[in-house]
Chain A
Amino acid sequence: MADEIRAEMVANVWKIVKAVGDEVEDGDTLVILESMKMEIPVITESDGVIAKIAVNEGDVVQEGDLIAVIE
């Protein structure tokens, strides 16, 4: 089952930590966003393999934008 991870708030994509094909588990950081002058890790709540990273470093994401897909 695919699990879509979406942005919780407007932010800049500061760093991509994981890559497509990486195995991840609950609590792992996928991407680090920058917002409210804070570095905010985007974490997965499910175990699986990253099927897609939908953002690039430097992008601006809006609330609800797709960041990654875990399968």
Chain B
Amino acid sequence: MTLTTPAGAQTEAPDFRDPQVRLRNLFDAGTLRLLAAADTSGVLAGRGEIDGTPVIAYCTDATKMGGAMGVEGCRHIVDAIDAAVRERVPVVGLWHCGGARLNEGVTALDAVGQVFAAMVRASGRVPQISVVLGPAAGGAAYGPALTDIVIMSDQGRIFVTGPEVVRSVTGEQVDMERLGGPEPHGRRSGVVHVTTKDEAGALEKARQVAALLGRQGRISPADAAQTTDLGALLPEQTNRAYDVKPLIKGLLDEPGVELHAKWAPNVVTTLGRFAGRTVGVIANNPMRLGGCLDASSAEKAARFVRMCDSLGVPLIVLVDVPGYLPGLGQEWDGVVRRGAKLLHAFAEAVVPRVTLVTRKAFGGAYIAMNSRSLGATAVFAWPNVEIAVMGAPAAVNILHRKTLAATPAAERDAKRAELIEEQIRVAGGVNRALEIGVVDEVVEPSDTRRRIAEALAGAPAARGAHGNIPL
């Protein structure tokens, strides 16, 4: 092991691209120890602490050949990942890298492939976090993409082929930012989980995530006192959309880290602490697409569920879902195939996972949101929720079409209202859900944190024995 402080004092302001500077900025002050002495390989790796938690990190050296990866540099990355797996600590990669070293030819490609293989070996065994601080092109694009969480600063760019190649091959005029900056990857492609306005912000997010995943803590129901009136965060009108994020914030001990905030925003996925322990929260967001599940959001949630399961992070699922988004676009987008991922992810998950229905859960989306049938540890519901195949008015229009048609027009609305009330009572009310056992208990909003904490604490700790393929 090498000490980081060189014998001679530095005289100039350090280059911000210097990997040693970047690693120091990532770790707690004074904790960086290099895994191997600095060399010309284009990669520097070290161990250190983040909020006192041991973490291993590697950083491509953008001051040498644009950070391009060669055999030696790739070897450092593989060693760092293997060490993290041996020591069971998170591994963070800082990326600013133009791809494979051209002058090393196919041996460099082979080396980059070995980095990918190491990442896949480590997948689901230790948390892998990538921070993209500059261009990460070609092989360097797939490095971050194979890891659990990708954070991108304002200067980060990820693409397979750069603007020059795009122009020469297809004639398309496009710059690096539009091709692979925070906007396209944060909002459109889903490659990036978190975007930040600068490098310091990106490293801070990486620290937060590494601490959450590296030191998960234990649930302590005694710490589940509730200060926020969660029920007051829902609108009084049941058909009015609302933002679910304040509800998530009120449920967690402190604000968590939202992943994929702008991509598929109709589902919210957040890592945070709950009663002292790291949990993953998955919530429908009625503010976006009415909270419907669709192809992208199901895939986003599925990947999050599988990541949490493989890393032993319990799940809290907040349900307020009107159904799957209907339409041609969705069917052609693979809502069946991609929606199936969410069913698969929940059904195979062995971590404790508690569902809370806050307002409604309808149809196939009800099943997909960690229902009793998929093996939820507990399913709670707030009073007056509706759980049904579809909303009562729609069901009445189908089930009682003939009755309604035979009713004189003047009385039809009254008849429909009566039938809807009856439909809710016999088919969609929470009492029926309790009777058949798909809801375990009705909890008051004011008692929600305590009951969820007890349910999570009472379940045996477990961890899925699988990797985290980037679904």
Residues of A within 8 A of B (CB): 8-10, 35-41, 43, 63
Contacts and interface: CB of A to CB of B under 8 A. Distances in A.
> Do most interface residues of chain B lie in helix, strand or loop, or is the interface mixed?
loop
Contacts of A35: 290
A39 B323 contact: no
Contacts of B241: 38-41
B325 A37 contact: no
Contacts of B329: 63
A38 B235 CA distance: 12
Interface stretch (B115-123, B137-145, B281-289): B281-289
B50 interface: no
B9 interface: no
Contacts of B292: 9, 36
A37 B240 contact: no
Interface string B180-196: 00000000000000000
Interface in B441-471: none
Contacts of B322: 36-38
A39 B288 contact: no
A40 B393 contact: no
Interface in B315-347: 322-323, 325, 327, 329
Contact of A10 (B237, B323, B327, B391): B327
Q: Please provide the 10 A-B residue pairs with the shortest distance between their CB atoms, ordered closest to farther.
A: A38-B290, A36-B290, A40-B241, A36-B322, A39-B240, A40-B290, A9-B289, A38-B239, A38-B241, A8-B289
Nearest to B241: A40
Nearest to A43: B287
B188 to A, nearest CB: 13
Nearest to A64: B329
Interface string B353-390: 00000000000000000000000000000000000000
